[in-house]
Amino acid sequence: MNIAEETPRARRHSSFGDESQKPAASAGPVFGMDFPSFVKKYAKAKVAIGLHRNADPDALCSGYALSTIFPDSILITPDDMGLPAKSLAAELGIKVHEFKKTSRAQYEGLIVVDAGSYSMIKEARDWKILGLIDHHQKSPPAERIAAEFELWDAASPSTCQLVSQLIQSPEPKAAFALAVGIVSDTARFKGGNAQSFSELARLLGICGKSYKEVLEWAEPERAPEEKMAMLSALSRAKCVAYKNFVIATTTVGGNESDASSSLSEFADISFAASWKAREKTTRVSARARKNVKIAMNEIMAAIGKRFGATGGGHAKAAGANALEKPEAVLEACVSAVKDALDTD
Ligand SMILES: [Mn+2]
């Protein structure tokens, strides 16, 4: 499923003053041992830091920043990273290994970032899980990854923000990477909170880079053919109005996450689906604008389950896999939204 690359948008519509001002030292709910003890325990160990499949800048950058405090660590991923993460890794000279080419026996264990569910990183099932830092909604217990050290905070707009709050003095390159991850995963602050701004300001001070430079890597220009594909997906979109909400759907050859994001610039709720012929699976990506109260991760979990697979993510950005053709899945998504709006 593509939930890992789903970018949370505005999480809540707050009036002044109701946004909790956590001190920088507190990075949210910690389970198991505390972070300093965790770092101390594995400081000299050979560890792997696992990124979810189709890694995005939030996964890459939080993993990279973490790797700077575990000197004998590698970054490891199930498959090809997404294009924005891939070009950023090339720019910063970050080496990322593949699970299938890595001998597990050589490592003490795995620290998972930006994923809390085995459905986002199924290769982790074979590993001893040492640590977990994530901001996705909790997945069902059977899919949930448990670790010795867990920092799990679904209220955090990005994993990079959590890691930034953990690491008091990141190296300049790690600070730049974390800044890119924060801007990218908040969809340029649509999903940010007060700490997103304070951490970003701090990180810019450390890395000495401009916001413009960070933005260029957080939201890289697409290739012309990608832009063409996206515009044609938008022109094929079907829209329905229901109870004052506009629901839009479209099918794409890939990049369903980008397509549903683009649709949601105007539609209140959007779905983009692509057919993965090899897996005989539809991958669907969902978005909701800030005025929508229903949680898309719940809709996607139900769709995944209904069509023999899984789904989840964030309230405003979620995704699912479904063992059914895109048209039927999109139809089910629209009905699920209507049902949810009926009971809302
Ligand atoms: Mn993330």
Domains of the chain: 9-218 (3.90.1640.10), 224-343 (3.10.310.30)
How far apart CA 65 and CA 68 sit, in angstroms, is 5
How far apart CA 41 and CA 150 sit, in angstroms, is 14
Between the CA of 115 and the centroid of ligand 1 the distance, in Å, is 8
Between the CA of 241 and the centroid of ligand 1 the distance, in Å, is 31
User: What pTM was estimated for this model as a whole?
Assistant: 0.84
| Short-list 307, 281, 282, 286, CA closest to 298 | 286
Between the CA of 261 and the centroid of ligand 1 the distance, in Å, is 15
pLDDT at 253: 92
pLDDT at 6: 52
- Sole residue written with tokens 């769709």: 303
pLDDT at 24: 35
Provide the residue-wise pLDDT of the chain in tens; the chain has 344 residues: 344 445 443 333 333 333 333 333 445 688 889 999 999 999 999 999 999 999 999 999 999 999 999 999 999 999 999 889 999 999 999 999 999 999 999 999 999 999 999 989 999 999 999 999 999 988 888 889 999 999 999 999 999 999 999 999 999 999 999 999 999 999 899 889 999 999 999 999 999 999 999 999 999 998 899 899 999 999 999 999 999 999 999 999 988 999 999 999 999 999 999 999 999 999 999 999 999 999 999 999 999 999 999 999 999 999 999 999 999 999 999 999 999 999 97
Between the CA of 158 and the centroid of ligand 1 the distance, in Å, is 5
pLDDT at 131: 98
pLDDT at 214: 98
pLDDT at 138: 87
pLDDT at 237: 98
Q: Judge whether 162 and 135 are in contact, CB under 8 Å.
A: yes
Between the CA of 178 and the centroid of ligand 1 the distance, in Å, is 12
| Short-list 122, 157, 121, 149, CA closest to 133 | 149
Between the CA of 58 and the centroid of ligand 1 the distance, in Å, is 5
How far apart CA 167 and CA 175 sit, in angstroms, is 10
| Short-list 19, 29, 21, CA closest to 166 | 29
Q: Which residues contact 154 (CB under 8 A, 6 or more apart)?
A: 135, 136, 137, 138, 314
What angle (nearest 5°) sits at the alpha carbon of residue 90, between those of residues 230 and 190?
Answer: 45
Between the CA of 136 and the centroid of ligand 1 the distance, in Å, is 7
How far apart CA 137 and CA 312 sit, in angstroms, is 7
Between the CA of 275 and the centroid of ligand 1 the distance, in Å, is 24
How far apart CA 87 and CA 146 sit, in angstroms, is 31
pLDDT at 28: 63
* Tokens encoding 133: 């830092």
